[in-house]
């Protein structure tokens, strides 16, 4: 079986990191790479363009005209990857916080059916965040605990951005309106997966702090995440407004219909 996997990397001003990341990722077998760049003023997009030919087309780029948020960049990348019929579609940051060497374990977890979504987790046994001061850990663990309690998630690291999705699950996820942008985007994707009955597995990773380039996440992204989690909790657990089908049942229906047609 030809395994087709793709990792999406959103970038904004990652010129100091992108070459190292792409070089490392190209060592992984059966993997294509899609960078979604928001017209980075530091020329990240141009550097990625050069990799297109150097990599025999394994590296591709989608460019947006201006900085328009992490969530939108991922949704743009997902649409492209789903159209290209990849089997496993991954998310990863460009700043080397996510070790490319940990990616195969996430992809394998999905291929082996351990999860429909595999999350590279900092907060399970074996997971590490060696560079963070205590206050940053506290904020991140606290945010995760809040999301877990309010949304009923059984996940320790719902804000993590190092992930692999079964593409059929992803196809169902993106049929829902997805509003959030930063940490909230990862929580929203996790929450929809949970509500669709997707199986989530956490794989321990070591998350390093970025060494080069600047962070794009500010306080407004934290406020967005807390506000959205609170709203989803009220909407779904108090008012019971949203209804989600189970994605695998829907999947079976599609398969059966296809069977009848042919």
Ligand X SMILES: Nc1nc2c(ncn2[C@@H]2O[C@H](COP(=O)(O)OP(=O)(O)OP(=O)(O)O)[C@@H](O)[C@H]2O)c(=O)[nH]1
Per CB under 5 A, residues contacting Mg ion are 93, 95, 97, 210
Does residue number 12 form part of the binding site for ligand X (CB under 6 A)?
Answer: yes
Compare residues 51 and 247 and give the one whose CB is closer to ligand X.
51
State which residue, 187 or 196, has the beta carbon closest to ligand X: 187
Eight-state DSSP code of residue 13: S
Near ligand X by CB under 6 A: residue from 24, 49, 52, 67: 67
- 74's contact among ligand X, Mg ion, none, with CB below 5 to 8 A by partner kind, is none
Contact between 38 and ligand X by CB under 6 A: the answer reads yes
Q: Which of 32, 87, 91, 93 binds ligand X (CB under 6 A)?
A: 93
Q: Residue 94 or residue 200: which is nearer to ligand X going by CB? A: 94
CB 158 within 8 A of CB 232: no
Q: How far apart are the first and last CA of the chain?
A: 23
To ligand X, the closest distance from the beta carbon of 243 in angstroms equals 31
Taking a C-beta distance cutoff of 8 angstroms, is the pair 112, 33 a contact? no
CB of 160 to ligand X, least distance (A): 10
158 sits near ligand X (criterion: CB under 6 A): no
CB of 98 to Mg ion, least distance (A): 8
Instruction: Tell me how far CA of residue 49 lies from CA of 77, 126, 147, in angstroms.
Output: 16, 37, 38
Does 70 bind ligand X (CB under 6 A)? Our answer is yes
Does the footprint of ligand X cover residue 73 (CB under 6 A)?
A: yes
- Retrieve residue 103's tokens: 């990616």
CB of 224 to ligand X, least distance (A): 13
> Is the Cβ of residue 199 or residue 210 nearer to Mg ion in the bound state?
210
Gap between the Cα atoms of 121 and 253, Å rounded: 33
Residue with tokens 């956490």: 202
Instruction: Give least dist CB 102 to ligand X, A.
Output: 15
Instruction: Give the integer Cα–Cα distance in Å for 50 and 185.
Output: 30
Strand partners of residue 128: 206
Q: Which listed residue (52, 210, 230, 244) binds ligand X by CB under 6 A?
A: 210
Angstrom distance (rounded) from CA 70 to CA 67: 9
Q: Could you tell which of Mg ion, ligand X, none binds residue 38, using a CB distance below 5 to 8 A set by kind?
A: ligand X
Q: 233, exposed or middle or buried, with CB in 10 Å at 0-12, 13-18, 19+?
A: middle
Sheet holding 59-63, edge to edge: 59-63, 31-37, 5-11, 88-91, 163-166, 117-121, 200-204
Q: Which is nearer to ligand X, 47 or 196 (CB)?
A: 47
Smallest gap from Cβ 163 to Mg ion, in A, equals: 14
Q: How far is CA 249 from the centre of its chain?
A: 24
Q: Which residues bind ligand X (CB under 6 A)?
A: 10-12, 14, 36-38, 67-70, 73, 93-95, 97, 210, 215-217
């Amino acid at each position: 079986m030809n395994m087709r996997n793709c990792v999406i990397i959103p970038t904004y001003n990652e010129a100091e990191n992108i070459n190292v990341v792409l070089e490392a990722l190209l060592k992984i077998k059966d993997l294509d790479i899609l960078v979604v760049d928001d017209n980075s003023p530091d020329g990240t997009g141009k550097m990625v363009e050069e990799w297109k030919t150097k990599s025999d087309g394994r590296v591709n780029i989608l460019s947006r005209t201006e900085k328009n948020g992490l969530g939108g960049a991922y949704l743009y990348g997902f649409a492209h990857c789903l159209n290209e019929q990849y089997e496993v579609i991954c998310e990863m940051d460009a700043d080397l916080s996510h070790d490319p060497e940990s990616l195969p374990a996430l992809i394998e977890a999905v291929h082996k059916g351990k999860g429909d979504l595999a999350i590279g987790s900092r907060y399970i046994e074996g997971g590490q965040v060696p560079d963070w001061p205590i206050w940053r850990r506290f904020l991140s663990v606290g945010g995760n605990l809040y999301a877990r309690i309010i949304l009923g998630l059984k996940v320790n690291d719902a804000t993590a951005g190092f992930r692999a999705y079964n593409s059929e699950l992803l196809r169902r996820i993106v049929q829902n309106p997805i509003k959030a942008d930063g940490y909230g985007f990862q929580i929203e994707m996790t929450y929809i997966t949970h509500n669709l009955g997707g199986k989530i597995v956490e794989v321990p990773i070591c998350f390093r702090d970025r060494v080069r380039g600047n962070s794009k996440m500010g306080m407004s992204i934290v406020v967005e995440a807390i506000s959205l989690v609170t709203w989803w909790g009220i909407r779904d657990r108090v008012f019971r407004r949203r209804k989600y089908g189970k994605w695998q049942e829907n999947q079976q229906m599609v398969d059966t219909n296809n069977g009848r047609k042919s």
